[in-house]
Structure 1
Amino acid sequence: MAADLRVLHLGFEDPLMPGAGGGSVRTHQINRRLVDLGFEVTVLTTTYPGARERVQDGVHYVPVGIGQGRNRLTRLLGYIARLPVEARRRRHRADLVVEDFFAPFSTMAAPRWTGRPTIGMVQWLHARDKARQYRLPLHWLERWGVRSHTRLIAVSQGTADKLAALNPAASVEVVGNGIDPESLEGETVLGRHVLFIGRLELHLKGLDLLLAAWAQAAPRIGDRLIIAGTGPDRERLERLIESLGVADSVDLVGWVSGERKHALVRSARLVVVPSRHETFGLVAVEALAGGTPVIIFDIPCLREVVPAGCGWKVAPFDVGALASELALRYGSEAELLDAGRRGRDFARGFDWDAQAQRQAHIYRSGVGVPLAST
């Protein structure tokens, strides 16, 4: 039987790659549901040691690159070099191309070379920050690429607003993320440790700010900060922990997923998301689903997913304020339990099935399929 729609997804990151981020989780969760709706989906990802072409939950994954992609730079360069070639080879099998934005410059301006209707899927839009980090004009590449698109999907309203500013002529629609229903299971309990989960990138994820705040707050808290994740700054992170004198109260536990991740969230008293930039804040929603309140910096996108009563907002990048909030909230047991229950109720609204239906509707309209078919 012919597929409802054949989608070629330029997905960058493979969800099975060690250390893969939340973007690849979203890609898979949406695409597997699109397959269930009758779509045919092929995802082109970067290569990495052990990568292989496969079908997972009905989604066809194809790693592209040069060599084995043994490190972040070779994966990126190989993907950039091979992606247009591989996409053009497969375009006769695609009704629609979806370009996932990725670091460090967001978009390769895919509509200019795919030869098929193309929609931008925006889960990453931080090129200006990377431009400052690397002292390269990456934000100009991002602007040029965004202006190549006429249709874009953003994972949050904050990201949609940024896209509209970069390209006022584009149609931008918001389709958020979802959560694993299993994360909502179990009772809301008062945990012990403070938890960070995410990619180990000191600047973007604000780990330098969190550790500086922890150095101030730890003596008043008397428990541990657990940092879960992998990433390019692991060694720098270890050195910073030593230099701040907090090695005896910080645990690095590596990459976690599945039930281990759910258990770690449920056993935490607080989850901290100290990012300087986010496009959605999936970790925050997953924490709320587990009944664990969240402390965030009050920045766009994050404030959308941590409403009043479910956690606490701190003035952006204020280390002293973060330290004070950590110490204050850690001891407020009644407030923590109440916030945990409220957060879980809020998180129930993040449904992967509903988000996939909305994305399917946008995909069909992007290639002129009558919307009544949804």
Structure 2
Amino acid sequence: MTPRTRPTARSLSIALVSEHASPLAALGGVDAGGQNVHVARLAGALADRGHRVTVYTRWDSKELPVTTLLRPGVLVHHVPAGPAEQLPKDELLPHMLEFARYLALEWQERGPDLVHSHFWMSGLASLQVARELRLPLLHTYHALGTVKRRHQGRADTSPPARIPCEVQVGLGCDRVVATCRDEVAELAGMGVPAEKVDVVPCGVDPQQFSPEGPVAERGPYRYRLLQLGRLVPRKGAAVAIAALAGLPDAELVVAGGPPPERVDADPEVRRLRDLARAAGVADRVRFTGGVPSSQVPALLRSADVVLCPAVYEPFGIVPLEAMACGRPVVASDVGGQRDTVADRVTGRLVPAGDARALSAAVGELLADPALREAYGAAGRRRVMSQYGWASVAAATETAYRTVLGARMTVAGAL
């Protein structure tokens, strides 16, 4: 491997590895959500700081070129590993060795200054290459197998090797970049020491998501509740539907999932519609299907309250997007939502799975317009002070510099 020049304080060559979550993917599908947004926005914010960023993601379509310029300073590199078609992420583990071999060849002559892997399989592939080429490696999990198994039990489709591999990545990388405090405690239980972990949250673009701008058309109901995100059971739409029974003047808009033309055939939509009929609220629940990202801010602005009732949530970007738009949030008291939603300041935190508590908290807000306005304004201020992507990128770069500095110190002592 050709020796690399020492990186300057102003410019690094950074490889972001995100095997299943491409920054180019359309959002709202089963495996396309917060991680895609995080990688895309982090890459852009790092480029804004003068760094050269390449995102390595799996080649999942024959129509894709090898490389695509996402924006100035950010290149997306499609890695051939497995068939050139979309596969569920839980089926990608057998292709990670091929993924790693490609990265090793790609970086053999001139590798990046550092590697930042996202999700456990990216970490597994990156760890192998980082050891071989002696590259600094940082890792962000986005979700942990221990948490998923605890909440999903037998319904967990993750490969059996996931948790041991996550431990291997956490112990083998130079540093872990966790997205919330809850994750630090979970990692400590897995044997990854807290002193090896930096907490850097996900972010939101406060210019794209703001209180000012177009507002999506409202229905005939007095109040609108909105749940936005992937249409999977753990997101808790069933809890929101049950809560709606106690909120007679409100409609519930569930946005996300398949394209609108395929909503009626979607198994999860069918399940939720059955629950809505049984609860007597079917006429007040609407499923939009996937919503283009350009339309999401207007949809958020149209809501009186945004619901985030996930059974578990590793981080959750939707609360930040809602808060940035000046909307109060009622969220389950889990994962990253414990950090982002300030209870009785920007919204309410309620026990996960508790439809009565969700209904009561929402009802309190619907009955008090001044309280909704106050929570929304406080949420906007919270986003502006803590969760802009520029702040996230600066904190991430600090973690990078810590690792690079430690490597240089060790090299100087040898």
TM range (shorter): 0.7 to 0.9
The CA distance in 1 between the partners of 2:253 and 2:95, in whole Å, is: 33
Letter in 1 for 2:326: G
- CA shift at 1:172, angstroms? 0.6
Task: Kindly report which structure 2 residues correspond to 1:85-104, keeping only aligned pairs within 5 A, or say none.
Answer: 85-91=101-107, 92-102=110-120
The CA distance in 2 between the partners of 1:326 and 1:363, in whole Å, is: 41
- Which residue, out of 35, 40, 44, partners 2:52? 40
CA contact (8 A) 2:258 2:289 kept: no
Name the CA shift for 1:77/1:142 in 2 (closer, same or farther; >3 Å): closer
The CA distance in 1 between the partners of 2:105 and 2:48, in whole Å, is: 26
- Which residue, out of 219, 222, 229, partners 1:198? 229
- CA shift at 1:289, angstroms? 1.1
Letter in 2 for 1:260: Q
Letter in 2 for 1:51: L
Matched, 1:139 2:163: yes
Aligned equivalent of 1:173: 198
CA contact (8 A) 2:237 2:254 kept: no
The CA distance in 1 between the partners of 2:148 and 2:199, in whole Å, is: 23
CA contact (8 A) 1:109 1:144 kept: no
> What are the superposed Cα offsets for residues 47-66 of structure 1, whole Å, 9 maximum, x if unpaired?
33343320111211112232
Q: Which consecutive residues of structure 2, in runs of 5 or more, have no partner in the other structure? A: 410-414
> SS at 2:291's partner residue?
coil
CA contact (8 A) 1:277 1:299 kept: yes
Aligned equivalent of 1:72: 88
Task: Kindly report which structure 2 residues correspond to 1:114-153, keeping only aligned pairs within 5 A, or say none.
Answer: 114=130, 115=132, 116-130=135-149, 132=153, 133-134=155-156, 137=160, 138-153=162-177
CA contact (8 A) 1:46 1:75 kept: no
Matched, 1:255 2:295: no
CA contact (8 A) 1:193 1:223 kept: yes
The CA distance in 2 between the partners of 1:229 and 1:81, in whole Å, is: 33
- CA shift at 1:169, angstroms? 6.9
> SS at 2:92's partner residue?
helix
CA contact (8 A) 1:11 1:100 kept: yes
Letter in 1 for 2:331: I
> SS at 1:334's partner residue?
helix
Aligned equivalent of 2:18: 11
Aligned equivalent of 1:352: 389
Aligned equivalent of 1:156: 180
> SS at 2:377's partner residue?
helix
Q: Which consecutive residues of structure 1, in runs of 5 or more, have no partner in the other structure? A: none
- Which residue, out of 8, 22, 42, partners 1:30? 42
The CA distance in 2 between the partners of 1:278 and 1:360, in whole Å, is: 25
Name the CA shift for 1:222/1:341 in 2 (closer, same or farther; >3 Å): same
Letter in 1 for 2:212: G
- CA shift at 1:164, angstroms? 3.1
The CA distance in 2 between the partners of 1:209 and 1:140, in whole Å, is: 32
- Report the TM-score when normalising by structure 1: 0.86
Letter in 1 for 2:15: L
- CA shift at 1:150, angstroms? 3.6
CA contact (8 A) 2:183 2:314 kept: yes
The CA distance in 1 between the partners of 2:17 and 2:51, in whole Å, is: 16
- Which residue, out of 340, 354, 357, partners 2:376? 340
The CA distance in 1 between the partners of 2:258 and 2:300, in whole Å, is: 20
Task: Kindly report which structure 2 residues correspond to 1:260-299, keeping only aligned pairs within 5 A, or say none.
Answer: 260-299=295-334
Aligned equivalent of 2:404: 367
> SS at 1:221's partner residue?
coil
CA contact (8 A) 1:123 1:155 kept: yes
> SS at 2:40's partner residue?
helix
Higher mean alpha-carbon deviation, 325-334 vs 220-229, is at 325-334
The CA distance in 1 between the partners of 2:122 and 2:330, in whole Å, is: 27
- CA shift at 1:171, angstroms? 1.2
The CA distance in 2 between the partners of 1:260 and 1:86, in whole Å, is: 37
Aligned equivalent of 1:243: 274
- CA shift at 1:18, angstroms? 1.9
CA contact (8 A) 2:237 2:272 kept: no
Matched, 1:224 2:251: yes
CA contact (8 A) 1:7 1:94 kept: yes
> What are the superposed Cα offsets for residues 74-117 of structure 1, whole Å, 9 maximum, x if unpaired?
97357524321122112232221111115xx7842732443321
The CA distance in 2 between the partners of 1:36 and 1:329, in whole Å, is: 39
- CA shift at 1:236, angstroms? 2.7
Name the CA shift for 1:165/1:127 in 2 (closer, same or farther; >3 Å): closer
The CA distance in 1 between the partners of 2:111 and 2:83, in whole Å, is: 26
> SS at 2:396's partner residue?
helix
- CA shift at 1:247, angstroms? 3.5
> SS at 1:224's partner residue?
strand
- CA shift at 1:35, angstroms? 2.3
